[in-house]
Chains A and B, each alone.
Chain A
Amino acid sequence: MGGVETRGWIRDGLRAMAAGLLSIVLAVLNFPLFVLFLVSLVLTPVLGIGLVALPAVTALIRFKANLARRIAGWHGVTISRPYRPKPADVGPVGWKRYHWVITDPATWRDFAWLLPGAIGGLVLGTLTLALPAYGVEGIVLLPLWMYLAGEWSGYGVNWPVDSVGEGFLSMPQGLAFLALGLVVAPHLRRIEGLWSKLFLAPTRAAELRLRVTQLTTTRADTVDAQAAELRRIERDLHDGAQARLVSLGMTIGLAEELVERDPETARKLLSEARENSSTALVELRHLVRGIHPPVLAERGLDGAVRALALTSRIPTTVDSDLQGRLETPVESAAYFAVAEALANVQRHSAATFAYVSMHRHGDLLRLEVGDDGRGGADMAKGTGLAGMERRLAAFDGTMSVSSPPGGPTIVTMELPCASSSPRTMLSSGTD
């Protein structure tokens, strides 16, 4: 991305101008929507036409409002969606759908936005385009004027333009206006985003309701996952180590009986018992590693991921500025997510190189796992990826995957975290 800075403001300005044009076009659409909404509202008592029409119009308005929210996002203004989730028993038409739509305060706030939104879009869109356009006019004015030799009024501070010599002055002025317009344009877009946010953002109550819905989902997922995990551990212990220890006891008991009568068999039994105890230990070790890897308990996320990289089949580098320990659950969630991502790299990517980077920005832990493989990873397809997302969601973490066909694949994960007791890390000076 180097070398873009010098021309960056021109590119940003041009983009903002395009967005301004788009916003004018979209603003105009608000007027018919406004009328349609009013009409279908009024028609509700008449033959129940509104029962069908209003939800349909609302759907259009929501689509339009979501478009505005997304465009605001382009300019750094994030607006979350305030709508109440659709109740389970709502059909495509009918009273229930009508009721769901009309009782949602967000419907009315969207409606209240239609006219001011349109006016804001038109005014700010026009402003975005006007200044650069005036600049362009100044630059091309002179040749045009000389070509047409027509009547002319003036430009910028040269008003009126009296001679060809004065006409030349419009060029630098036009350049200045164009530059100013390009610089100002992104800011105007941002202002429009803020203007939309004023109407389209969820209210505090709506925000809380959204949060509750989200927490309910993630909690249910977490509880399910925990229960499944406990069942797995119980089964593994019961069928594995526990059974082996019982048989161990039996073998030793038998050996005890035989030690005098048949020392040869007793010796064989004892060596069998020892082998069985090793197997039980191996099983327990695997189980422990699956629950909470010892190296994670001992060294925290940084050390555990380094240990992981060391045994990875694909050369893997770790770049980390993590100091001290994170909260244990966050550490564990982050570790298993990175482990899963690295396992995916080894299984599917055909990469020759992988990296993990772990950095903290204030209270946000940012993890990135990337490779130079063939790409094509899809969140919607891989159950592993979906599982990782669920695991992170329990901590309000997010995950995104960029994996175009042909690669490279980059998995980015973000987790809110607060550092617990800062503990000095290894200082043996090994590296």
Chain B
Amino acid sequence: MRVVIAEDHALLRDGLTRILEAFGFEVVAVVDRGPDVLPTLTECKPDVAVLDVRLPPTFTDEGLQAAIAVRREVPGLPILVLSQHVEPLYARELLSDRRGGVGYLLKDRVSDVAQFIDGVRQVAAGGTVMDPEVVARLLDRSRPLDVLTAREREVLGEMAEGRSNAAIAARLFVTEKAVSKHINNIFTKLGLPPSEDDNRRVLAVLAYLDS
């Protein structure tokens, strides 16, 4: 699988490259400045891109802005955004084009290599992976989505973190059938009509972030 990495910090850049290559990814380009992200990605069209939020020259949220801009040019290009901190506001902006293939994780998560690689693969496959901290901060607020039961909220949280039905079933100690029943209930309650399943998952997560 072809990957592009955008990260200005040399140590982290090398670390990411090493980890991804160890798991059989092909790192086709490495970018260390914000303005280079968009041209590189539109040219390489990798299977997945891993971007740092904060990049030179402004060191603000250039990576995030580039991610949003890229997906306007190349709709649905899978992008995993890494950040030193996570902000539900940014998660919402990333998902604003209502397509999958988006991830937003704390940089710390990279240290759990297996889980990180799993996240990259899910994003590449069009899934949505949100950092548990974003999910926790939204769950903590708990006021919206009052229509959902506690269990359904739990399932939605797991879904937001990018888990498959099987993975959710394993984590919550229920059958996969029960999980898909919960998910169907969630879709009904949030008023998401049946369509392509993956996209509905994104919409549900978005509703979750938006509410």
Contacts and interface: CB of A to CB of B under 8 A. Distances in A.
Interface of A: 274, 277-278, 281-282, 285, 288-289, 294-295, 297-299, 303, 306-307, 310-315, 426, 428-430
Interface stretch (B16-24, B60-68, B176-184): B60-68
Contacts of A294: 54, 84-85, 87
A274 B108 CA distance: 10
Interface stretch (B34-42, B138-146, B159-167, B192-200): B138-146
B111 A274 contact: yes
B15 to A, nearest CB: 13
Contacts of B89: 295, 303, 306-307, 310
- Interface class of chain A by DSSP: helix
Nearest to A325: B60
Contact of A298 (B60, B111, B112, B138): B60
A430 B72 CA distance: 12
Contact of B108 (A278, A303, A426, A429): A278
Given A298-B54, A307-B88, A310-B88, A426 B141 contact: no
B89 to A, nearest CB: 4
A298 B61 contact: yes
B141 A311 contact: yes
Interface string B109-121: 0011000000000
Given A303-B89, A314-B143, A428-B96, 17 more contacts: A274-B112, A278-B108, A278-B111, A289-B85, A295-B85, A295-B87, A298-B61, A299-B61, A306-B89, A307-B88, A310-B89, A311-B138, A313-B141, A313-B142, A315-B144, A426-B93, A430-B92
A372 to B, nearest CB: 14
A328 to B, nearest CB: 13
Nearest to B71: A428
Contacts of B111: 274, 277-278
A426 B90 CA distance: 11
A312 B141 contact: yes
A430 B89 CA distance: 10
Interface string B56-84: 00001100010011000000000000001
- Interface class of chain B by DSSP: helix
Contacts of B107: 281
A239 B111 CA distance: 23
Contact of A310 (B53, B68, B92): B92
Contacts of A295: 85, 87, 89-90
Contacts of B108: 277-278, 281-282
A313 B143 contact: yes
B50 to A, nearest CB: 18
Contacts of B53: 298
20 contacts: A274-B112, A277-B111, A285-B84, A295-B89, A295-B90, A298-B61, A307-B89, A310-B92, A311-B88, A311-B140, A311-B141, A313-B142, A313-B143, A315-B143, A426-B65, A426-B93, A428-B96, A429-B96, A430-B92, A430-B96
B9 interface: no
Interface of B: 53-54, 60-61, 65, 68-69, 84-85, 87-90, 92-93, 96, 107-108, 111-112, 137-138, 140-144
Contacts of A281: 107-108
A295 B93 CA distance: 13
Given A277-B111, A298-B54, A299-B60, A430 B93 contact: yes
Given A277-B111, A281-B108, A430-B92, A297 B60 contact: yes
Contacts of A288: 85
A426 B54 CA distance: 14
Contacts of A277: 108, 111
A428 B92 CA distance: 12
Nearest to B69: A428
Nearest to B112: A274
Contacts of A311: 88, 137-138, 140-141
A44 to B, nearest CB: 68
A285 B93 contact: no
Closest 4 pairs between A and B when the two form their complex, measured CB to CB = A307-B89, A298-B60, A430-B96, A298-B61
Contacts of A282: 108
Contacts of A429: 96
Nearest to A428: B68
Contacts of B87: 294-295, 307
Contacts of B96: 428-430
A248 B86 CA distance: 25
Contacts of B141: 311-313
Contacts of B112: 274
Contacts of B84: 285, 294
Contacts of A278: 108, 111
B26 to A, nearest CB: 27
